[in-house]
Structure 1
Protein backbone atom coordinates (compact mmCIF):
# COMPACT_ATOMS: atom_id res chain seq x y z
CA UNK A 1 0.00 0.00 0.00
CA UNK A 2 2.84 2.35 0.91
CA UNK A 3 4.54 1.58 -2.41
CA UNK A 4 1.37 2.51 -4.32
CA UNK A 5 1.05 5.82 -2.48
CA UNK A 6 4.70 6.57 -3.14
CA UNK A 7 4.28 5.83 -6.86
CA UNK A 8 1.16 8.03 -7.06
CA UNK A 9 2.94 10.87 -5.28
CA UNK A 10 5.92 10.54 -7.59
CA UNK A 11 3.64 10.61 -10.66
CA UNK A 12 1.84 13.69 -9.39
CA UNK A 13 5.15 15.41 -8.74
CA UNK A 14 6.36 14.67 -12.27
CA UNK A 15 3.10 16.00 -13.73
CA UNK A 16 3.48 19.17 -11.69
CA UNK A 17 7.07 19.59 -12.88
CA UNK A 18 5.99 19.11 -16.51
CA UNK A 19 3.21 21.67 -16.11
CA UNK A 20 5.64 24.20 -14.63
CA UNK A 21 8.10 23.61 -17.46
CA UNK A 22 5.42 23.98 -20.14
CA UNK A 23 3.37 26.73 -18.53
CA UNK A 24 3.53 28.97 -21.60
CA UNK A 25 2.31 26.12 -23.82
CA UNK A 26 -0.65 25.46 -21.53
CA UNK A 27 -1.52 29.15 -21.53
CA UNK A 28 -1.39 29.20 -25.32
CA UNK A 29 -3.65 26.16 -25.52
CA UNK A 30 -6.11 27.73 -23.09
CA UNK A 31 -6.13 30.95 -25.09
CA UNK A 32 -6.61 29.01 -28.31
CA UNK A 33 -9.56 27.11 -26.88
CA UNK A 34 -11.07 30.35 -25.65
CA UNK A 35 -10.72 31.96 -29.08
CA UNK A 36 -12.20 28.86 -30.72
CA UNK A 37 -15.12 29.02 -28.30
CA UNK A 38 -15.72 32.67 -29.13
CA UNK A 39 -15.61 31.92 -32.87
CA UNK A 40 -18.07 29.04 -32.49
CA UNK A 41 -20.37 31.26 -30.42
CA UNK A 42 -20.11 34.07 -32.98
CA UNK A 43 -20.93 31.66 -35.79
CA UNK A 44 -23.86 30.30 -33.79
CA UNK A 45 -25.14 33.84 -33.18
CA UNK A 46 -24.96 34.64 -36.90
CA UNK A 47 -26.66 31.40 -37.92
CA UNK A 48 -29.40 31.92 -35.34
CA UNK A 49 -29.88 35.63 -36.06
CA UNK A 50 -33.23 36.52 -37.58
CA UNK A 51 -32.70 38.72 -40.62
CA UNK A 52 -35.42 41.31 -41.13
CA UNK A 53 -33.68 43.37 -43.79
CA UNK A 54 -31.76 42.22 -46.86
CA UNK A 55 -28.88 44.56 -45.98
CA UNK A 56 -28.43 42.82 -42.61
CA UNK A 57 -27.45 39.54 -44.27
CA UNK A 58 -23.63 39.13 -44.23
CA UNK A 59 -21.92 39.48 -47.60
CA UNK A 60 -20.33 36.02 -47.27
CA UNK A 61 -23.80 34.49 -46.93
CA UNK A 62 -24.60 35.84 -50.39
CA UNK A 63 -21.25 35.03 -52.01
CA UNK A 64 -21.35 31.48 -50.61
CA UNK A 65 -24.99 31.05 -51.74
CA UNK A 66 -26.23 30.07 -48.29
CA UNK A 67 -29.69 28.52 -48.13
CA UNK A 68 -32.07 30.09 -45.59
CA UNK A 69 -35.46 29.04 -44.29
CA UNK A 70 -38.48 31.31 -44.21
CA UNK A 71 -42.22 31.60 -43.72
CA UNK A 72 -44.24 33.00 -46.61
CA UNK A 73 -46.46 36.00 -45.82
CA UNK A 74 -47.42 37.73 -49.09
CA UNK A 75 -47.06 37.30 -52.85
CA UNK A 76 -46.69 40.65 -54.61
CA UNK A 77 -45.66 41.92 -58.04
CA UNK A 78 -42.24 42.74 -56.58
CA UNK A 79 -41.67 39.25 -55.18
CA UNK A 80 -42.35 37.05 -52.17
CA UNK A 81 -42.48 38.67 -48.75
CA UNK A 82 -40.89 36.15 -46.40
CA UNK A 83 -40.23 36.04 -42.66
CA UNK A 84 -36.80 34.56 -42.00
CA UNK A 85 -36.89 31.53 -39.69
CA UNK A 86 -33.33 30.97 -38.39
CA UNK A 87 -31.80 27.89 -36.82
CA UNK A 88 -33.09 27.46 -33.27
CA UNK A 89 -30.73 26.87 -30.33
CA UNK A 90 -32.88 26.88 -27.14
CA UNK A 91 -30.91 29.13 -24.77
CA UNK A 92 -29.33 31.39 -27.40
CA UNK A 93 -32.56 31.82 -29.37
CA UNK A 94 -34.56 32.80 -26.28
CA UNK A 95 -32.00 35.52 -25.48
CA UNK A 96 -31.94 36.84 -29.06
CA UNK A 97 -35.73 37.09 -29.30
CA UNK A 98 -35.71 39.86 -26.71
CA UNK A 99 -33.89 42.30 -29.01
CA UNK A 100 -34.70 41.04 -32.51
CA UNK A 101 -36.67 43.47 -34.68
CA UNK A 102 -39.59 42.57 -36.92
CA UNK A 103 -39.60 42.73 -40.69
CA UNK A 104 -39.99 40.73 -43.91
CA UNK A 105 -37.46 39.93 -46.62
CA UNK A 106 -38.29 40.55 -50.28
CA UNK A 107 -37.37 37.38 -52.18
CA UNK A 108 -37.41 37.31 -55.98
CA UNK A 109 -37.33 34.28 -58.27
CA UNK A 110 -33.89 34.63 -59.85
CA UNK A 111 -33.74 34.31 -63.63
CA UNK A 112 -37.52 34.40 -64.08
CA UNK A 113 -39.86 37.07 -65.44
CA UNK A 114 -43.32 36.19 -64.17
CA UNK A 115 -46.34 36.41 -66.43
CA UNK A 116 -49.68 37.49 -64.85
CA UNK A 117 -50.74 33.85 -64.98
CA UNK A 118 -47.59 32.98 -63.02
CA UNK A 119 -48.59 35.31 -60.21
CA UNK A 120 -52.03 33.68 -60.06
CA UNK A 121 -50.43 30.22 -60.03
CA UNK A 122 -48.18 31.12 -57.10
CA UNK A 123 -51.13 32.48 -55.13
CA UNK A 124 -52.98 29.24 -55.75
CA UNK A 125 -50.10 26.84 -55.05
CA UNK A 126 -48.50 28.50 -52.02
CA UNK A 127 -50.27 28.75 -48.70
CA UNK A 128 -49.95 31.58 -46.14
CA UNK A 129 -47.33 30.82 -43.47
CA UNK A 130 -45.92 28.02 -45.64
CA UNK A 131 -42.28 27.20 -44.97
CA UNK A 132 -39.99 27.70 -47.96
CA UNK A 133 -36.23 27.60 -48.52
CA UNK A 134 -34.44 30.30 -50.47
CA UNK A 135 -30.86 30.01 -51.70
CA UNK A 136 -29.11 33.35 -51.93
CA UNK A 137 -27.69 34.16 -55.37
CA UNK A 138 -27.53 37.94 -55.29
CA UNK A 139 -28.75 41.08 -53.59
CA UNK A 140 -30.04 44.20 -55.28
CA UNK A 141 -30.79 46.99 -52.82
CA UNK A 142 -33.54 45.55 -50.59
CA UNK A 143 -34.38 42.54 -52.78
CA UNK A 144 -32.81 39.08 -52.70
CA UNK A 145 -32.34 37.11 -55.91
CA UNK A 146 -32.88 33.47 -54.97
CA UNK A 147 -33.70 29.94 -55.97
CA UNK A 148 -36.89 29.19 -54.05
CA UNK A 149 -37.68 25.64 -52.98
CA UNK A 150 -40.81 24.16 -51.42
CA UNK A 151 -41.22 20.69 -49.98
CA UNK A 152 -43.60 18.31 -51.73
CA UNK A 153 -43.91 15.35 -49.41
CA UNK A 154 -41.19 14.07 -47.10
CA UNK A 155 -38.43 13.47 -49.63
CA UNK A 156 -39.25 15.73 -52.57
CA UNK A 157 -38.66 19.43 -53.06
CA UNK A 158 -39.59 21.58 -56.06
CA UNK A 159 -37.69 24.60 -57.35
CA UNK A 160 -40.30 27.28 -58.04
CA UNK A 161 -38.02 29.06 -60.53
CA UNK A 162 -37.96 25.97 -62.75
CA UNK A 163 -41.58 24.99 -62.16
CA UNK A 164 -42.87 28.42 -63.23
CA UNK A 165 -40.96 28.11 -66.51
CA UNK A 166 -41.92 24.45 -66.95
CA UNK A 167 -45.59 25.41 -66.74
CA UNK A 168 -45.16 28.23 -69.25
CA UNK A 169 -45.99 30.89 -66.66
CA UNK A 170 -42.93 33.07 -67.20
CA UNK A 171 -39.83 33.74 -69.29
CA UNK A 172 -36.14 33.20 -68.66
CA UNK A 173 -34.12 36.35 -68.00
CA UNK A 174 -30.48 36.88 -66.90
CA UNK A 175 -29.79 35.94 -63.27
CA UNK A 176 -29.00 39.13 -61.39
CA UNK A 177 -26.31 39.06 -58.72
CA UNK A 178 -24.18 36.26 -60.18
CA UNK A 179 -21.16 37.01 -62.40
CA UNK A 180 -22.23 36.12 -65.93
CA UNK A 181 -18.93 34.38 -66.60
CA UNK A 182 -19.14 32.11 -63.54
CA UNK A 183 -19.71 28.36 -63.68
CA UNK A 184 -22.69 28.60 -61.30
CA UNK A 185 -24.39 31.23 -63.47
CA UNK A 186 -24.34 29.07 -66.60
CA UNK A 187 -25.23 25.93 -64.69
CA UNK A 188 -28.39 27.54 -63.30
CA UNK A 189 -29.18 29.41 -66.53
CA UNK A 190 -29.10 26.15 -68.50
CA UNK A 191 -31.46 24.56 -65.98
CA UNK A 192 -33.92 27.42 -66.41
CA UNK A 193 -33.65 27.36 -70.20
CA UNK A 194 -34.35 23.61 -70.26
CA UNK A 195 -37.46 24.15 -68.14
CA UNK A 196 -38.63 26.95 -70.45
CA UNK A 197 -37.99 24.83 -73.56
CA UNK A 198 -40.24 22.06 -72.20
CA UNK A 199 -43.13 24.51 -71.93
CA UNK A 200 -42.38 25.95 -75.38
CA UNK A 201 -42.27 22.48 -76.91
CA UNK A 202 -45.60 21.51 -75.35
CA UNK A 203 -47.22 24.92 -76.05
CA UNK A 204 -48.04 25.40 -72.37
CA UNK A 205 -49.05 28.64 -70.69
CA UNK A 206 -47.89 31.76 -72.49
CA UNK A 207 -46.54 29.63 -75.33
CA UNK A 208 -50.09 28.70 -76.35
CA UNK A 209 -50.38 32.14 -77.90
CA UNK A 210 -49.69 32.61 -81.57
CA UNK A 211 -46.17 33.50 -82.54
CA UNK A 212 -45.23 36.95 -83.82
CA UNK A 213 -45.01 35.72 -87.41
CA UNK A 214 -48.40 34.02 -87.15
CA UNK A 215 -49.97 37.27 -85.92
CA UNK A 216 -48.37 39.21 -88.80
CA UNK A 217 -49.64 36.62 -91.29
CA UNK A 218 -53.18 36.83 -89.91
CA UNK A 219 -53.13 40.64 -90.04
CA UNK A 220 -52.00 40.58 -93.67
CA UNK A 221 -54.65 38.01 -94.54
CA UNK A 222 -57.38 40.11 -92.95
CA UNK A 223 -56.25 43.32 -94.67
CA UNK A 224 -58.95 44.67 -97.05
CA UNK A 225 -56.47 45.48 -99.82
CA UNK A 226 -55.05 41.97 -99.70
CA UNK A 227 -58.54 40.48 -99.75
CA UNK A 228 -59.44 42.59 -102.81
CA UNK A 229 -56.28 41.44 -104.60
CA UNK A 230 -57.11 37.83 -103.81
CA UNK A 231 -60.60 38.27 -105.22
CA UNK A 232 -59.18 39.90 -108.37
CA UNK A 233 -56.67 37.05 -108.89
CA UNK A 234 -59.44 34.52 -108.38
CA UNK A 235 -61.62 36.34 -110.95
CA UNK A 236 -58.77 36.31 -113.50
CA UNK A 237 -58.31 32.56 -113.06
CA UNK A 238 -61.98 31.91 -113.64
CA UNK A 239 -62.22 34.01 -116.79
Structure 2
Protein backbone atom coordinates (compact mmCIF):
# COMPACT_ATOMS: atom_id res chain seq x y z
CA UNK A 1 0.00 0.00 0.00
CA UNK A 2 2.80 2.37 0.94
CA UNK A 3 4.48 1.85 -2.38
CA UNK A 4 1.41 3.05 -4.23
CA UNK A 5 1.21 6.41 -2.40
CA UNK A 6 1.75 9.42 -4.66
CA UNK A 7 0.55 7.57 -7.81
CA UNK A 8 -2.48 8.83 -9.74
CA UNK A 9 -5.46 6.45 -10.10
CA UNK A 10 -5.35 4.34 -13.23
CA UNK A 11 -7.28 6.06 -16.07
CA UNK A 12 -9.05 3.16 -17.76
CA UNK A 13 -10.70 5.45 -20.32
CA UNK A 14 -7.32 6.74 -21.42
CA UNK A 15 -5.95 3.19 -21.70
CA UNK A 16 -8.94 2.12 -23.79
CA UNK A 17 -8.47 5.14 -26.02
CA UNK A 18 -4.78 4.33 -26.50
CA UNK A 19 -5.67 0.70 -27.35
CA UNK A 20 -8.28 1.84 -29.86
CA UNK A 21 -5.75 4.18 -31.53
CA UNK A 22 -3.25 1.35 -31.75
CA UNK A 23 -5.82 -1.02 -33.19
CA UNK A 24 -7.85 1.44 -35.24
CA UNK A 25 -8.22 -0.90 -38.20
CA UNK A 26 -9.63 -3.67 -36.00
CA UNK A 27 -12.11 -1.29 -34.34
CA UNK A 28 -13.28 -0.05 -37.73
CA UNK A 29 -13.67 -3.63 -38.97
CA UNK A 30 -15.78 -4.58 -35.95
CA UNK A 31 -17.95 -1.48 -36.35
CA UNK A 32 -18.41 -2.11 -40.06
CA UNK A 33 -19.22 -5.78 -39.44
CA UNK A 34 -21.83 -4.86 -36.84
CA UNK A 35 -23.34 -2.32 -39.20
CA UNK A 36 -23.51 -4.85 -42.05
CA UNK A 37 -25.03 -7.47 -39.76
CA UNK A 38 -27.62 -4.93 -38.66
CA UNK A 39 -28.53 -4.10 -42.26
CA UNK A 40 -28.83 -7.81 -43.16
CA UNK A 41 -31.03 -8.46 -40.10
CA UNK A 42 -33.22 -5.48 -41.00
CA UNK A 43 -33.54 -6.68 -44.61
CA UNK A 44 -34.57 -10.16 -43.47
CA UNK A 45 -37.09 -8.72 -41.04
CA UNK A 46 -38.62 -6.57 -43.78
CA UNK A 47 -38.95 -9.62 -46.06
CA UNK A 48 -40.66 -11.62 -43.30
CA UNK A 49 -43.18 -8.83 -42.71
CA UNK A 50 -43.92 -8.29 -46.41
CA UNK A 51 -47.27 -9.50 -47.70
CA UNK A 52 -46.77 -11.53 -50.87
CA UNK A 53 -49.61 -11.36 -53.37
CA UNK A 54 -47.85 -13.16 -56.22
CA UNK A 55 -45.57 -16.20 -56.21
CA UNK A 56 -42.93 -14.31 -58.19
CA UNK A 57 -42.57 -11.76 -55.36
CA UNK A 58 -41.23 -14.38 -52.95
CA UNK A 59 -37.40 -14.22 -52.64
CA UNK A 60 -35.44 -17.12 -54.11
CA UNK A 61 -33.75 -17.80 -50.75
CA UNK A 62 -37.18 -18.41 -49.20
CA UNK A 63 -37.76 -21.21 -51.71
CA UNK A 64 -34.25 -22.64 -51.28
CA UNK A 65 -34.52 -22.66 -47.48
CA UNK A 66 -38.08 -24.08 -47.53
CA UNK A 67 -39.47 -21.24 -45.41
CA UNK A 68 -42.90 -21.66 -43.81
CA UNK A 69 -45.44 -18.91 -44.44
CA UNK A 70 -48.78 -18.28 -42.79
CA UNK A 71 -52.07 -17.66 -44.53
CA UNK A 72 -55.77 -18.33 -45.12
CA UNK A 73 -57.34 -20.44 -47.87
CA UNK A 74 -59.49 -18.19 -50.05
CA UNK A 75 -60.62 -20.62 -52.76
CA UNK A 76 -60.07 -24.20 -53.97
CA UNK A 77 -59.97 -25.02 -57.69
CA UNK A 78 -58.63 -27.73 -59.99
CA UNK A 79 -55.43 -25.67 -60.34
CA UNK A 80 -54.77 -25.62 -56.59
CA UNK A 81 -55.40 -23.54 -53.47
CA UNK A 82 -55.69 -19.77 -53.61
CA UNK A 83 -54.12 -18.57 -50.38
CA UNK A 84 -54.01 -15.13 -48.79
CA UNK A 85 -50.58 -14.64 -47.26
CA UNK A 86 -50.69 -13.33 -43.67
CA UNK A 87 -47.20 -11.99 -42.87
CA UNK A 88 -45.61 -11.70 -39.44
CA UNK A 89 -46.40 -8.35 -37.82
CA UNK A 90 -43.50 -6.41 -36.26
CA UNK A 91 -44.64 -2.84 -35.38
CA UNK A 92 -41.21 -1.18 -35.74
CA UNK A 93 -40.47 -2.82 -39.09
CA UNK A 94 -44.03 -2.38 -40.38
CA UNK A 95 -43.82 1.38 -39.75
CA UNK A 96 -40.79 1.58 -42.07
CA UNK A 97 -42.53 -0.20 -44.93
CA UNK A 98 -44.47 1.56 -47.64
CA UNK A 99 -48.17 0.88 -47.72
CA UNK A 100 -49.22 -0.27 -51.16
CA UNK A 101 -51.58 -2.50 -53.05
CA UNK A 102 -51.97 -5.71 -51.03
CA UNK A 103 -54.73 -7.52 -52.93
CA UNK A 104 -53.95 -10.85 -54.52
CA UNK A 105 -53.64 -14.53 -53.69
CA UNK A 106 -50.90 -17.12 -54.00
CA UNK A 107 -51.65 -20.21 -56.08
CA UNK A 108 -50.46 -23.26 -54.14
CA UNK A 109 -50.37 -26.90 -55.21
CA UNK A 110 -50.08 -29.82 -52.82
CA UNK A 111 -46.53 -30.98 -53.48
CA UNK A 112 -46.07 -34.66 -54.28
CA UNK A 113 -49.80 -35.25 -54.85
CA UNK A 114 -51.87 -35.77 -57.99
CA UNK A 115 -55.39 -34.74 -56.98
CA UNK A 116 -58.51 -36.49 -58.26
CA UNK A 117 -61.78 -34.57 -58.83
CA UNK A 118 -63.04 -36.17 -55.60
CA UNK A 119 -59.96 -34.83 -53.84
CA UNK A 120 -60.74 -31.29 -55.01
CA UNK A 121 -64.33 -31.64 -53.75
CA UNK A 122 -63.05 -32.96 -50.41
CA UNK A 123 -60.77 -29.93 -50.01
CA UNK A 124 -63.67 -27.56 -50.68
CA UNK A 125 -65.71 -29.24 -47.96
CA UNK A 126 -62.93 -29.59 -45.38
CA UNK A 127 -61.33 -26.15 -45.61
CA UNK A 128 -62.87 -22.89 -44.42
CA UNK A 129 -62.06 -19.38 -45.70
CA UNK A 130 -61.18 -18.04 -42.24
CA UNK A 131 -59.08 -21.07 -41.29
CA UNK A 132 -55.45 -20.32 -40.47
CA UNK A 133 -52.85 -22.54 -42.05
CA UNK A 134 -49.15 -22.81 -42.86
CA UNK A 135 -47.58 -23.59 -46.20
CA UNK A 136 -43.95 -24.65 -46.48
CA UNK A 137 -42.26 -23.61 -49.71
CA UNK A 138 -40.73 -26.53 -51.61
CA UNK A 139 -40.67 -25.28 -55.18
CA UNK A 140 -41.96 -22.71 -57.64
CA UNK A 141 -42.90 -23.05 -61.29
CA UNK A 142 -43.94 -19.86 -63.06
CA UNK A 143 -46.61 -18.33 -60.78
CA UNK A 144 -47.46 -21.55 -58.91
CA UNK A 145 -45.96 -22.72 -55.61
CA UNK A 146 -45.49 -26.38 -54.64
CA UNK A 147 -45.92 -26.62 -50.89
CA UNK A 148 -46.51 -28.75 -47.86
CA UNK A 149 -49.84 -27.42 -46.53
CA UNK A 150 -50.74 -27.75 -42.85
CA UNK A 151 -54.07 -26.64 -41.37
CA UNK A 152 -55.10 -26.31 -37.73
CA UNK A 153 -57.87 -28.73 -36.74
CA UNK A 154 -58.11 -27.70 -33.14
CA UNK A 155 -56.22 -26.01 -30.38
CA UNK A 156 -53.56 -28.69 -30.17
CA UNK A 157 -53.82 -30.59 -33.45
CA UNK A 158 -53.01 -30.02 -37.11
CA UNK A 159 -53.29 -31.97 -40.36
CA UNK A 160 -50.99 -32.09 -43.38
CA UNK A 161 -53.34 -31.87 -46.38
CA UNK A 162 -50.80 -33.58 -48.67
CA UNK A 163 -50.81 -36.70 -46.51
CA UNK A 164 -54.51 -36.61 -45.67
CA UNK A 165 -55.53 -36.56 -49.35
CA UNK A 166 -53.40 -39.67 -49.94
CA UNK A 167 -54.66 -41.31 -46.73
CA UNK A 168 -58.24 -40.90 -47.93
CA UNK A 169 -57.46 -42.35 -51.36
CA UNK A 170 -58.30 -39.05 -53.07
CA UNK A 171 -55.00 -38.69 -54.91
CA UNK A 172 -51.81 -40.43 -56.01
CA UNK A 173 -48.20 -39.96 -54.97
CA UNK A 174 -46.04 -38.27 -57.62
CA UNK A 175 -42.58 -36.73 -57.62
CA UNK A 176 -42.11 -33.64 -55.46
CA UNK A 177 -41.43 -30.70 -57.74
CA UNK A 178 -38.80 -28.23 -56.62
CA UNK A 179 -36.77 -30.56 -54.39
CA UNK A 180 -33.61 -32.33 -55.56
CA UNK A 181 -34.29 -36.05 -55.86
CA UNK A 182 -31.11 -36.91 -53.99
CA UNK A 183 -31.84 -34.59 -51.05
CA UNK A 184 -32.64 -35.87 -47.57
CA UNK A 185 -35.82 -33.80 -47.39
CA UNK A 186 -37.14 -35.22 -50.68
CA UNK A 187 -36.91 -38.84 -49.53
CA UNK A 188 -38.22 -38.04 -46.07
CA UNK A 189 -41.38 -36.48 -47.51
CA UNK A 190 -41.73 -39.04 -50.29
CA UNK A 191 -41.61 -41.83 -47.70
CA UNK A 192 -44.33 -40.14 -45.65
CA UNK A 193 -46.53 -39.75 -48.74
CA UNK A 194 -46.09 -43.39 -49.78
CA UNK A 195 -46.96 -44.56 -46.26
CA UNK A 196 -50.13 -42.44 -46.32
CA UNK A 197 -51.08 -43.83 -49.74
CA UNK A 198 -50.44 -47.40 -48.56
CA UNK A 199 -52.99 -46.93 -45.76
CA UNK A 200 -55.64 -46.02 -48.35
CA UNK A 201 -54.70 -49.06 -50.46
CA UNK A 202 -54.98 -51.43 -47.46
CA UNK A 203 -58.37 -49.99 -46.47
CA UNK A 204 -59.68 -49.89 -50.06
CA UNK A 205 -60.39 -46.18 -49.82
CA UNK A 206 -61.17 -43.77 -52.64
CA UNK A 207 -59.50 -44.69 -55.92
CA UNK A 208 -58.20 -47.91 -54.35
CA UNK A 209 -61.66 -49.21 -53.49
CA UNK A 210 -62.32 -52.68 -54.91
CA UNK A 211 -65.72 -54.01 -55.87
CA UNK A 212 -67.34 -56.20 -53.26
CA UNK A 213 -68.34 -59.78 -54.10
CA UNK A 214 -72.02 -58.78 -54.42
CA UNK A 215 -71.12 -55.88 -56.74
CA UNK A 216 -69.14 -58.27 -58.93
CA UNK A 217 -72.10 -60.71 -59.11
CA UNK A 218 -74.42 -57.87 -60.11
CA UNK A 219 -71.98 -56.79 -62.84
CA UNK A 220 -71.83 -60.35 -64.19
CA UNK A 221 -75.65 -60.52 -64.23
CA UNK A 222 -75.85 -57.21 -66.10
CA UNK A 223 -73.29 -58.44 -68.62
CA UNK A 224 -75.15 -61.75 -69.00
CA UNK A 225 -78.46 -59.99 -69.66
CA UNK A 226 -76.76 -57.70 -72.18
CA UNK A 227 -75.27 -60.73 -74.00
CA UNK A 228 -78.64 -62.49 -74.01
CA UNK A 229 -80.28 -59.45 -75.57
CA UNK A 230 -77.59 -59.36 -78.27
CA UNK A 231 -78.22 -63.06 -79.01
CA UNK A 232 -81.97 -62.48 -79.20
CA UNK A 233 -81.42 -59.57 -81.56
CA UNK A 234 -79.10 -61.70 -83.77
CA UNK A 235 -81.73 -64.49 -83.88
CA UNK A 236 -84.42 -61.97 -84.81
CA UNK A 237 -82.24 -60.66 -87.65
CA UNK A 238 -81.72 -64.15 -89.05
CA UNK A 239 -85.45 -64.91 -88.97
CA UNK A 240 -86.36 -61.52 -90.38
CA UNK A 241 -83.94 -61.59 -93.28
TM-score w.r.t. length of structure 2: 0.80
Counterpart residue number, 2:238: none
What is the CA–CA distance in structure 2 between the aligned matches of 1:103 and 1:70, rounded to whole Å? 12
**1:7 corresponds to which of 6, 9, 20:** 9
Shift of the 4–108 alpha-carbon distance from structure 1 to 2, 3 Å rule, reads farther
Residue pair 2:51, 2:86 contacting (<8 A) in 1 also = yes
Counterpart residue number, 2:193: 192
Counterpart residue number, 1:98: 99
Counterpart residue number, 1:75: 76
Deviations 1:200-219 (A, max 9, x none): 211122323549xx79x958
List aligned pairs for 1:23-172, cutoff 5 A: 23-96=24-97, 98-99=99-100, 101-172=102-173
Q: Displacement, 1:193?
A: 1.6
Q: Displacement, 1:222?
A: 5.9
What is the CA–CA distance in structure 1 between the aligned matches of 2:15 and 2:173, rounded to whole Å? 73
Q: Displacement, 1:152?
A: 2.3
Counterpart residue number, 1:176: 177
What is the CA–CA distance in structure 2 between the aligned matches of 1:57 and 1:26, rounded to whole Å? 37
Q: Displacement, 1:4?
A: 11
Alignment RMSD, CA only?
2.8
Counterpart residue number, 2:21: 20
The SS at the match of 1:150 is: strand
Asked if 1:206 is matched to 2:207, the reply is yes
Moved more, 74-83 or 112-121: 112-121
What is the CA–CA distance in structure 2 between the aligned matches of 1:93 and 1:221, rounded to whole Å? 73
What is the CA–CA distance in structure 2 between the aligned matches of 1:166 and 1:54, rounded to whole Å? 28
Moved more, 174-183 or 128-137: 174-183
Asked if 1:224 is matched to 2:227, the reply is yes
Deviations 1:67-98 (A, max 9, x none): 11111111111111011112211121233251
What is the CA–CA distance in structure 2 between the aligned matches of 1:4 and 1:76, rounded to whole Å? 88
Unmatched runs of 5 consecutive residues or more in structure 2: 232-241
Q: Displacement, 1:164?
A: 0.9
Shift of the 86–78 alpha-carbon distance from structure 1 to 2, 3 Å rule, reads same
What is the CA–CA distance in structure 2 between the aligned matches of 1:114 and 1:148, rounded to whole Å? 14
What is the CA–CA distance in structure 2 between the aligned matches of 1:43 and 1:92, rounded to whole Å? 10
Q: Displacement, 1:173?
A: 2.1
TM-score w.r.t. length of structure 1: 0.81
